[in-house]
Structure 1
């Protein structure tokens, strides 16, 4: 028996360059439009036995718009960015360039006073490993950063791999397996 976990990245709440750490903004107009364009490919995932979302407004709204009626999971929250919360990467780099360099170079570093990258990946992985083995499906809508962390954990990749995973809004990926033994499952999406 194994569990199948489909992770859906929440729709956007701002333009990519305007994204802020720990962003609690709701979906923007473009995010709602994009949901309408891709809903037909994602709605079937709502047939999962268990449906979850991260606590952010855009994750909850994305899950609701797709008809998932997801249960909020605090463990799927974005990385705690401490005093950098609400700032863009450009703003932080201008204020604390050495802190940004340390954060990007060392996964155990938390110059912002929040959660380190390693702690974030471990937290999300812990959530994965506590999913019930129901020989069925789970779907979770979460921030792109959470999806990246889950993939790094599932593949047992070095934490630095996190920076090389690009997760676009409303993209979906599936991992299958058992706690501590996950595999990436790439499938064709009906058009």
Structure 2
């Protein structure tokens, strides 16, 4: 039996330039407004048999705005960025340019002392592979855009550097179908 999992990227909690590594800020006013506007279309996700979310404030709040009442899953947390947590890419690049270059070039590198990109993708993939088959109603997970990117890289068995080429917009829905080790991306109208 197969799993049908819809990954919903959380509404935003800051502008792109203010994004911070491993940030746990709640939704900002614009994020609340966007989620409320999207609710009539996305409320259909509440029909899912199981509803999960990343443990971050913005994922929990996105799920609540949409009436999903999701269960927080620690395995769906964003990448552990170690000592870079709470800093922007610009701040880290200014302070540690070689470390940032190494991190971007080598998926096994973790110069920040946290999780490497490869470890992050593997953790998210392990979570995917342990989802129980549904009864047809499927599963939904409200997740950080980075978690959705990692899930896609894993599901498509793409090289880890593909992660950097995936653009996941707030409140976008990505559907994966399959079972452990055998996933496909389902594009829906």
Question: C-alpha separation between the residues in 1 aligned to 2:45 and 2:10?
Answer: 14
Post-superposition offset of 1:42: 1.2
Post-superposition offset of 1:46: 1.2
Deviations 1:158-188 (A, max 9, x none): 0000000000111110000111100000101
Post-superposition offset of 1:39: 1.5
The runs of 5 or more residues in structure 1 that have no matched partner are none
Other-structure match for 1:105: 105
Question: C-alpha separation between the residues in 1 aligned to 2:71 and 2:172?
Answer: 20
Other-structure match for 1:21: 21
Q: Give yes or no for contact 2:49–2:135 (8 Å, CA) kept in 1.
A: no
Q: Give yes or no for contact 2:130–2:180 (8 Å, CA) kept in 1.
A: yes
Question: C-alpha separation between the residues in 2 aligned to 1:9 and 1:121?
Answer: 16
TM-score (norm 1): 0.97
Other-structure match for 1:129: 129
Secondary structure (helix, strand or coil) at the match of 1:7 reads strand
The runs of 5 or more residues in structure 2 that have no matched partner are none
Other-structure match for 1:172: 173
Runs (4+) of structure 1 exceeding 3 A deviation are none
Deviations 1:53-101 (A, max 9, x none): 0000000000011111100000000000000000000000000000000
